[in-house]
């Protein structure tokens, strides 16, 4: 089956400074129409089969270190149809109802536009000649298909000098005649003559390894077993954008997810699965299907974000109705404008485009083309940074709403036993996380500027100085690690400055080298606790993609527990630990940076459908 998709791009003139020129440019924007971009929806593959090496790490004997052993390779294969179905499930993350869609199926053409759907008979075109192979071969076959089909002949009409000089009525008659000659009806030909680009997607070879780790966990006091399955396989997807120059298609640009060169790209929760029983080659395809289902969505979101770095694929609109820090743009859900969607603002000064700042959309206007024009709404936005005037030009900023964060901090929490200060516990840490604007990811106005941060911590703590209280000659810090999450509401103040007010929770484990009195044998002391952390952050937006912030919070520990082990065996009869260990809450401070990532990572699974689906439901 050959599926062709038609999409649009917006291309607008820059605005001059005078009011007259601005108004003229505004009319140009308003008259801008949806234009077709032909795209092959069939996924190009290097191979259909897979051969993955497997390592299994069973539960170790009590007190022993866990070891891993090689297992028999997992082998199997997928069909082209199976990959196409997985790929098509979330294709709307790249090609949404924001675009006109044309599907060629056998001898019929199916067209879906903003205002309706139609179908028409056409002559059956040749099958797409690619089955599997290299990326280069796939691209060559794509160009061969595009340039030898009747599509290319219709596209070439748009550059015919006679056609460009015709009136609208003459163009319609001309297209009907030429389209009929080539077996393509007028409705299809009319869309195709406006085409400029063709899309095709390719996924590489399925190879790599699998690691299966058996571990125990407790549920309501009962010990249970689970298997954590981690896939290490190439995950890059490539989008070929081919451009029609009036005579033929040729490569315009190649967009790659480039995961291998990105820390966040390599960290993908899509690659980690959990099973109640040990997975085998027999159910390997089922696990891989789940991996690819998540991974394709994550890749399509990343490709969509990277594609919008090209000016031809950005949405552009003039600013309207400025009132203080509030403004409007004549775009909305029909163009997939999300809540908290950032737009950069530029102005034409003496022929040069000057960047003025950026704003974020707070209300995505309902502006479906099926609605009467007088009922369509503008999107309402608030200024984050900069000063703007009516008719300054707003350019869609490529964004996922997801940031990688890194910070360094100090936590002043200390430990005590039987109300006696142990004079230790304060630690310095590095925190690495991934945070998302839930308003954008879920397209929810109720969650506008609500940020969820998932993080891990590691660091080193102070030694305990009051060691005799715990019956030791020396208690030396051997490291702290933990993780948690934070949720915060952001208040944007002025000039890019913001404050976050939020609440965090997490879990920490402190490790110490414990040497008992009158002994030289080192023991392993472990103290762990859960905690709550109300906090405030103050930050600065350098751009929609880079933030700097400082945080002050208060750690409130609870559920404090400890264990003392010697050579893996727990020491249970030490009188010094009869009263347990307490953690005394205190302040924590940190300073860090946040960097936008085109990979939605763990948040890809909750990424909402494109806003233009609302308009599709009105048909």
Question: Which of 45-54, 61-70, 233-242 holds the top average pLDDT?
Answer: 45-54
Any idea which fold 402-596 has? Porin (2.40.160)
- At residue 127, does pLDDT exceed 80? no
CB distance 438 to 403 below 8 Å: no
Dig out the tokens for 113 from the structure: 């536009």
Distance, first Cα to last Cα, the chain:
26
- At residue 7, does pLDDT exceed 60? no
CB distance 426 to 410 below 8 Å: yes
- CA–CA distances in Å: residue 64 to residues 67, 394, 480, 515: 9, 61, 22, 21
Q: Give the pLDDT of residue 39.
A: 67
Question: Which of 17-26, 79-88, 315-324, 354-363 holds the top average pLDDT?
Answer: 354-363
Q: What percent of the chain has pLDDT over 90?
A: 54
Contacts of residue 20, defined as CB under 8 A and 6 or more positions apart, other chains included, come to none
Contacts of residue 272, defined as CB under 8 A and 6 or more positions apart, other chains included, come to 228, 229, 230, 231
Q: What is the mean pLDDT of residues 11-17?
A: 31
CB distance 378 to 321 below 8 Å: yes
- Of 8-17, 181-190, 514-523, the range with the lowest mean pLDDT is 8-17
- Residues 589-617: pLDDT tens digits? 999 999 999 988 889 989 999 999 999 88
Q: Give the pLDDT of residue 294.
A: 86
- Residues 406-458: pLDDT tens digits? 999 999 999 999 889 998 889 999 999 999 999 999 999 999 999 999 999 99
Q: What is the mean pLDDT of residues 385-393?
A: 95
Dig out the tokens for 1 from the structure: 């089956």
Q: Where are the domains of the chain?
A: 34-308, 315-396, 402-596
- Of 170-174, 252-256, 484-488, the range with the lowest mean pLDDT is 170-174
The CA distance from 212 to 364, in Å, is 45
- At residue 244, does pLDDT exceed 70? yes
Residue 421 host element (H or E) = strand 420-421
Q: How confident is the model at residue 69 (pLDDT cuts 50, 70, 90)?
A: very high
The CA distance from 202 to 82, in Å, is 15
Question: Which of 31-45, 285-299, 372-386 holds the top average pLDDT?
Answer: 372-386
Residues written for the chain: 619
Mean pLDDT, the chain, as a whole number?
A: 84
Q: Which one is predicted more confidently, 65 or 195?
A: 65
Dig out the tokens for 242 from the structure: 């081919």
Q: What is the mean pLDDT of residues 352-381?
A: 95
- At residue 172, does pLDDT exceed 50? yes
- Of 130-144, 330-344, 541-555, the range with the lowest mean pLDDT is 130-144
Q: How confident is the model at residue 23 (pLDDT cuts 50, 70, 90)?
A: very low
Q: What percent of the chain has pLDDT over 70?
A: 81
Q: How confident is the model at residue 15 (pLDDT cuts 50, 70, 90)?
A: very low
CB distance 465 to 420 below 8 Å: no
Q: How confident is the model at residue 528 (pLDDT cuts 50, 70, 90)?
A: very high
Q: Give the pLDDT of residue 481.
A: 96
Q: Where are the beta strands (DSSP E) in 30-90?
A: 37-45, 49-57, 69-77
Q: Give the pLDDT of residue 150.
A: 59
- At residue 14, does pLDDT exceed 60? no
Q: Give the pLDDT of residue 10.
A: 27
Q: What is the mean pLDDT of residues 104-111?
A: 61
Q: Give the pLDDT of residue 4.
A: 34
In 3D space, the residue among 515, 504, 594, 511 whose CA is nearest the CA of residue 556 turns out to be 504
Q: How confident is the model at residue 28 (pLDDT cuts 50, 70, 90)?
A: very low
- At residue 178, does pLDDT exceed 50? yes
- Residues 30-49: pLDDT tens digits? 333 455 667 676 889 999 99
Question: Which of 217-221, 239-243, 338-342 holds the top average pLDDT?
Answer: 338-342
Q: How confident is the model at residue 84 (pLDDT cuts 50, 70, 90)?
A: confident
Q: What is the mean pLDDT of residues 171-179?
A: 66
Strand 402-411, strand 427-437: pairing: antiparallel
The CA distance from 16 to 21, in Å, is 6
CB distance 360 to 338 below 8 Å: no
- At residue 113, does pLDDT exceed 80? no
Q: Give the pLDDT of residue 20.
A: 34
Q: How confident is the model at residue 179 (pLDDT cuts 50, 70, 90)?
A: low
The CA distance from 4 to 142, in Å, is 12
Q: Give the pLDDT of residue 181.
A: 63
- At residue 72, does pLDDT exceed 60? yes
- Residues 537-582: pLDDT tens digits? 999 999 999 999 999 999 999 999 999 998 878 887 778 888 889 9
- The reported pTM is 0.86
**Residue 499 burial by CB count (10 A; 0-12/13-18/19+): exposed, middle or buried?**
middle
Q: Give the pLDDT of residue 139.
A: 94
């Amino acid at each position: 089956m050959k599926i062709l998709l038609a999409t649009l791009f917006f291309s607008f003139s820059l605005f001059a400074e005078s009011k007259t020129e601005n108004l003229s440019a505004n009319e140009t924007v308003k008259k801008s129409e949806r234009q077709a971009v032909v795209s092959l929806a069939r996924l190009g593959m290097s191979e259909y089969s897979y051969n993955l090496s497997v390592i299994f790490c069973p539960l170790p004997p009590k007190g022993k270190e866990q070891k891993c052993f090689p297992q028999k390779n997992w082998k199997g294969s997928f069909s082209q149809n199976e990959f196409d179905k997985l790929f098509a499930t979330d294709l709307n993350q790249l090609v949404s109802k924001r675009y006109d869609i044309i599907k060629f199926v056998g001898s019929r053409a199916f067209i879906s536009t903003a205002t309706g759907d139609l179908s028409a008979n056409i002559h059956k075109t040749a099958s797409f000649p690619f089955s599997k192979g290299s990326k280069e071969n796939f691209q060559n076959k794509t160009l061969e298909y595009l340039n030898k089909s009747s599509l290319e002949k219709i596209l070439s009409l748009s550059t015919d000098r006679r056609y460009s000089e015709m009136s609208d009525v003459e163009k319609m008659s001309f297209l009907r005649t030429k389209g009929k000659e080539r077996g393509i009806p007028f409705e299809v030909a009319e869309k195709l003559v406006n085409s400029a680009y063709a899309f095709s997607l390719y996924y590489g070879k399925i190879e790599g390894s699998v690691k299966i780790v058996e571990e125990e966990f407790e549920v309501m006091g009962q010990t249970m077993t689970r298997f954590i399955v981690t896939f290490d396989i190439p995950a890059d997807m490539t989008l070929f954008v081919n451009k029609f120059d009036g005579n033929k298609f040729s490569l315009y640009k190649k967009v790659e997810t480039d995961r291998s060169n990105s820390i966040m790209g390599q960290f993908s929760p899509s690659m980690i699965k959990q099973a109640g029983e040990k997975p085998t080659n027999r159910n390997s395809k089922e696990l891989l299907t789940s991996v690819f289902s998540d991974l394709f969505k994550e890749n399509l979101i990343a490709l969509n974000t990277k594609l919008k770095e090209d000016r031809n694929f950005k949405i552009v609109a003039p600013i309207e109705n400025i009132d203080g820090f509030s403004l409007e743009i004549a775009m909305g859900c029909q163009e997939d404008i999300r809540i908290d969607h950032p737009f950069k603002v530029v102005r034409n000064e003496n022929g040069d485009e000057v960047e003025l700042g950026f704003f974020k959309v707070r209300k995505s206007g309902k502006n479906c083309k099926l609605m009467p024009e007088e009922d369509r709404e503008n999107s309402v936005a608030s200024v984050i940074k900069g000063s703007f005037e009516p008719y300054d030009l707003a350019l869609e900023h490529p964004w996922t709403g997801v940031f990688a964060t890194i910070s360094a901090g100090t936590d002043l929490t200390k430990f005590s036993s039987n109300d006696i200060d142990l004079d230790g516990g304060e630690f310095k840490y590095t925190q690495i996380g991934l945070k998302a604007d839930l308003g954008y990811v879920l397209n929810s106005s109720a969650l506008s500027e609500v940020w969820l941060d998932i993080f891990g911590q590691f660091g080193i703590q102070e030694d305990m100085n009051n060691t005799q209280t715990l019956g030791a000659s020396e208690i030396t810090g051997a490291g702290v690690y933990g993780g948690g999450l934070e949720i915060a509401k952001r208040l944007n103040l002025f000039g890019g400055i913001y404050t976050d007010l939020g609440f965090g929770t997490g879990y920490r484990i402190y490790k110490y080298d414990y040497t008992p009195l009158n002994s030289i044998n080192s023991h392993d002391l472990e103290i762990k606790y859960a905690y709550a952390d109300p906090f405030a952050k103050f930050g600065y937006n350098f751009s929609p993609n880079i933030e700097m912030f400082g945080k002050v919070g208060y750690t409130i520990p609870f559920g404090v527990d400890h264990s003392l082990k010697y050579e893996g065996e727990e020491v249970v009869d030490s009188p010094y630990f009869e009263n347990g260990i307490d953690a005394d809450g205190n302040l924590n401070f940190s300073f860090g940076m946040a960097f936008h990532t085109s990979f939605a990572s763990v948040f890809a699974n909750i990424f909402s459908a494109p806003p233009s689906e609302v308009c599709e439901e009105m048909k």
